[in-house]
Structure 1
Amino acid sequence: MPNFLLLFISLALSLASPFVLATPPTEFPYEIIVIKSKRLLVVKKGTRVIKKYHVALGQGGIGGKRVEGDKRTPEGEYEIVGSWPSRKFYYFIHLNYPGRQDAMAGYKKGLISWEELIHIYRAHQEQNGTPPQQTRLGGFIGIHGIGEETNQKLAIHQDFDWTRGCIALTNTEIDELRQFIGPGTPVTILNEPDDKGLLADIGVDSKVSLAN
């Protein structure tokens, strides 16, 4: 059934946009991997680990994001679609959540309509396309700083998950991260990587979990 539904969506998209060709993928030297159980953001170039940062995640606890307001950090494969200065968070790097997998799961649960599902899929066909951000799946998920830095904020950031579903770094770390990213940079968010070799590469004990 899921395969049939995916085929039907592909056909619907092709009929709706008969003269639009898929944009060729752009190659980016860096990729970002977020390992939620370890509270880590890793910057990789090929097989090399370039940087790693401690992060704070959504207040909603373990599990991927499912619905607006659950305050969970999503899990899946995304891309950066934009970034800008933020008065509240210092700097905001926007991800193209909800992804296709989020949309399909939401549609099956009756959270979004067929039309919303198609709009989300269509956005992911476009280079740097931003899917609808105000469906019941939520939106405006990204990587950001902590705004005005105080000792109290830095202490909270170090010890607690405090965001509404985003991934937070310190302002200094966000500035450093910006040199590695751009529109189209792939961002993979996992609870725990299947490849334990990745954890070994970044010097993390696979038996230690920081998940709430």
Structure 2
Amino acid sequence: MIGDWELGKLKIYQTHTFYDAKTMTKFFPGINWNRKKILTILLLSISGCVFYLLLVKLKLMFPLTELPEVLCFKGCSARQKLHTPPAGNQLLNYDKPIEKLAGATYDKQKFSLLIEKSKHRLTLYYDLKPLKSYAVVFGSNPKGDKYREGDKKTPEGILHIRNLYSHPQWSKFLWLDYPNPDSWRKHFQAKLTGKLAWHIPIGGEIGIHGVPQGADEIVDQRTNWTLGCPSLKNKDVDELYQWVQVGTVVEIVP
């Protein structure tokens, strides 16, 4: 047999009748149905979500999906250098097309890039073996790692190409995944140690691109002119564009 208490609950579900806090407490003892408290909790939850999304949009906070890596719960072992730089300071095989260096058969996933800031050199690798180098310039404040928006520095570390597309001013744009979890970790460490104020965002929109049309001398003269992006001659970034893809590893070292 169904008791009166169970029948009361069934009526609530069947009729969808609104019951005040006193009635609900009668049917469900032990639960506080204070409407003001519930409304307060809902409003605080919604406000917190909106505030968090605003912080993410302003580059003041990282996405929650990156939390384990930012806090070193996973994938936080000491980063080892991936590439062995070519000997000397010269540009390796610069006058040779990549198609002759790579051979007839190749796996596009095995291409990677090493950027040496101090040598103004970007090198394309295949299976971690250097194939070809290009001259490259950087942000107008090139020394040191990037920690914040507007510092005109080029980030260092292991990055990846997140997208690539034609650019109306600089021929091509190989968009890098800065900031990544490692970038966020360094950014917050700088804030915790007092090197950065807490209101300063981390920045973004870093990519490898060309130069304004007809301005190759910028690269020849090693003029660091960007806001932080590595910059190649247009014909060089055009060639490179054909051999990399989304996910290609880009290692940037001092």
TM over 0.5: yes
SS at match of 1:110: helix
Whose Rg is larger?
2
Q: State the AA in 1 paired with 2:225.
A: W
Percentage of matched positions with identical amino acids? 32
Work out whether 1:144 is the aligned partner of 2:225. no
SS at match of 1:38: coil
Find the counterpart in structure 1 of residue 178 from structure 2.
Answer: 97
After superposition, what is the alpha-carbon deviation per residue over 1:7-49, rounded to whole angstroms, capped at 9, x for unaligned?
Answer: 2999xxxxxxxxxxxxxxxx81101000111000000112421
Work out whether 1:167 is the aligned partner of 2:248. no
- Cα distance change of structure 1 residues 69 and 7 upon mapping to structure 2, 3 Å threshold: same
Q: Write the mapping of 1:71-90 to structure 2, written as runs, cut at 5 A.
A: 71-90=152-171
Find the counterpart in structure 1 of residue 129 from structure 2.
Answer: 48
1: CA distance, partners of 2:160 / 2:230: 14
Query: Which of residues 59, 70, 92 is equivalent to 2:140?
Result: 59
SS at match of 2:191: coil
2: CA distance, partners of 1:5 / 1:95: 22
Structure with greater contact order relative to length (CA < 8 Å, sep ≥ 6): 1
- CA drift of 1:179 comes to 1.9
After superposition, what is the alpha-carbon deviation per residue over 1:25-77, rounded to whole angstroms, capped at 9, x for unaligned?
Answer: xx811010001110000001124211100001110130011110011010010
Q: State the AA in 1 paired with 2:72.
A: L
2: CA distance, partners of 1:175 / 1:4: 34
Stretches of 4+ aligned residues off by more than 6 angstroms = none
Q: State the AA in 1 paired with 2:210.
A: G
- CA drift of 1:4 comes to 10
Retained in 1: the 8 A contact 2:170–2:211?
yes
Retained in 2: the 8 A contact 1:80–1:182?
yes
Retained in 2: the 8 A contact 1:56–1:162?
yes
Q: State the AA in 1 paired with 2:245.
A: G
Find the counterpart in structure 2 of residue 127 from structure 1.
Answer: none
Work out whether 1:154 is the aligned partner of 2:216. yes
Q: Write the mapping of 1:169-188 to structure 2, written as runs, cut at 5 A.
A: 169-188=232-251
- Cα distance change of structure 1 residues 147 and 190 upon mapping to structure 2, 3 Å threshold: same
TM-score (norm 2): 0.54
Structure 1: stretches of 5+ with no match in the other structure: 11-26, 112-134, 192-212
- Cα distance change of structure 1 residues 90 and 109 upon mapping to structure 2, 3 Å threshold: same
2: CA distance, partners of 1:69 / 1:39: 21
Find the counterpart in structure 1 of residue 73 from structure 2.
Answer: 7
Q: State the AA in 2 paired with 1:39.
A: H
- CA drift of 1:172 comes to 0.5
1: CA distance, partners of 2:133 / 2:124: 6
Query: RMSD across aligned C-alpha pairs, in angstroms?
Result: 2.7
2: CA distance, partners of 1:188 / 1:108: 21
TM-score (norm 1): 0.64
Deviates more, 1:44-53 or 1:177-186: 44-53
Find the counterpart in structure 1 of residue 197 from structure 2.
Answer: none
